[in-house]
């Protein structure tokens, strides 16, 4: 016959193992959500870049209403479009300070260029522009969520274990 202490130890071990399994599952799901949202943002920016190319090509046979709607649909992803000489052609969803806006935009352009979110826009065979973008606020917040979730779950497990 087992004593009560051994039975309680086994229950604690099972509780910890199940808790760690749940933490792992939740972290995996959260990371997958972040990755999926990142892919969706990339797809949205590629469509946006194509619409920008169409507007710049001056083709009169296209539906400009649809293209302008695509361009105006981005309300959350910060974007800078620059030419080959790094002249900024367009900005979107950036809060530009009133003091030294040019310096701010230069720093943002360099920051965006150092990231991996870049799309080349071929205007014609001699002209290219570059669309640089950053993750949306939603994606940034969601990327922190797994770590906050981990901390809360570990705290819960610790309290439950000690109780």
Cα-based angle 70, 75, 81 (whole degrees, multiple of 5): 70
Q: Model pTM?
A: 0.74
Q: Is the pLDDT of residue 5 over 70?
A: no
Q: Is the pLDDT of residue 26 over 70?
A: yes
Both structure tokens of 8? 């309680």
- Enumerate the H helices of 58-136 as residue ranges: 64-72, 101-114
Q: Phi and psi of 135, rounded to 5°?
A: -65, 145
Predicted pLDDT of residue 150: 82
Predicted pLDDT of residue 111: 93
Q: Is the pLDDT of residue 119 over 90?
A: yes
Average confidence (pLDDT) over 132-141: 90
Predicted pLDDT of residue 37: 92
Element containing residue 91 per DSSP (H, E): strand 88-92
């Amino acid at each position: 016959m087992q004593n009560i202490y051994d039975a309680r130890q086994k229950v604690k071990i099972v509780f910890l193992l199940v808790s760690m399994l749940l933490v792992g599952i939740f972290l995996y799901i959260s990371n997958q959500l972040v990755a999926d949202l990142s892919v969706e943002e990339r797809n949205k920016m590629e469509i946006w870049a194509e619409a920008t190319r169409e507007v710049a090509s001056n083709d009169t046979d296209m539906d400009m209403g649809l293209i302008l709607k695509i361009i105006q649909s981005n309300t959350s992803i910060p974007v800078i479009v620059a030419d080959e000489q790094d002249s900024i052609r367009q900005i979107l969803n950036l809060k530009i300070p009133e003091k030294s806006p040019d310096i701010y935009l230069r720093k943002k352009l360099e920051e965006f260029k150092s990231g991996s979110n870049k799309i080349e826009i071929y205007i014609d065979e001699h002209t290219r522009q570059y669309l640089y973008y950053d993750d949306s606020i939603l994606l940034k917040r969601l990327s922190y969520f797994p770590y906050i979730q981990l901390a809360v779950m570990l705290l819960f497990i610790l309290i439950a274990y000690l109780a």
